[in-house]
Amino acid sequence: ADTGRFKNLDGNVIDTYGDELVTNGDFNSSDISNWFASSGGIYGIERSMLKVYGASGDASYGVKYQIPSEKGKAYTLNVNVLNEDSYEIGIGKDAATINDIYYSTYSEAGKQTISFIATSTTVNIFIRSMVANVSYYIDNISVKEVTTVDLTNHIPEVQVQDQATNGLVVQSSVNAG
C-alpha cells in the first residue's frame, strides 16, 4: 500500500492524497523551469534548495509556481522556507494576484502546511520576502490534491487468528451496541 497517500484518520474520515503537482520540489536536479520571478525576484539552485534574492533595496520580491487545479477541489501545500526575516506565502487564481485564495505573513523559518480550495483551473503559489537585501531558501515544496473519504458505512471486517480455538474469527470495529 502507498502509505504516503493517507493521513489524518479522524473517526471515520480519512484524507487521501493525489499525485505530486510540483516538479523537482526537493531541488535535487537543476530543473527549475516551472518557477518564475515575482516582483523582481532572482533565483537559482544552491545546495539542493531554491535560493531567492532581490535587487538592492527591493523589499518585496520572490518566486511563484503555477499548478494545474480543478475549481472546487481541495489541495495541501507543504513547504520549508529558510528565512530569518519576514516573508509571505500567497495563493492566487492567476499569475498577478497573490492573495485571493490564501495569504499570510510569517516571521520565522520553518515548514508551513496550508490547505486551500482551488477557484480556477490553475493556481499560483507565491513565496516572497518582505525585507530588503536578504536572501532566503525554499526546500521540499509539495502540492497534492486532497480527497476525503468517509468510511462510516465501509468499516472493513478483519480476519484474525483466534489462539484459543486455532481458527479464524471475523471481527469488525463497528459497535453493535
DSSP secondary structure of 107-127: -S-EEEEEEEE--SSEEEEEE
State whether residue 87 is helix, strand or coil: strand
Mean pLDDT to the nearest integer, 106-112: 92
Residue located via cell numbers 494545474 = 68
The predicted structure's pLDDT at residue 30: 93
pTM for the full predicted model: 0.76
Q: Which residue has the higher pLDDT, 149 or 99?
A: 99
Q: How confident is the model at residue 3 (pLDDT cuts 50, 70, 90)?
A: very low
Q: Which residue has the higher pLDDT, 19 or 10?
A: 19
DSSP annotation of 4: G
Q: How confident is the model at residue 167 (pLDDT cuts 50, 70, 90)?
A: very low
Residue located via cell numbers 513565496 = 127
Least confident of 8-12, 40-44, 47-51, 61-65: 8-12
Cell reading at 61: 520580491
The predicted structure's pLDDT at residue 69: 96
The predicted structure's pLDDT at residue 172: 38
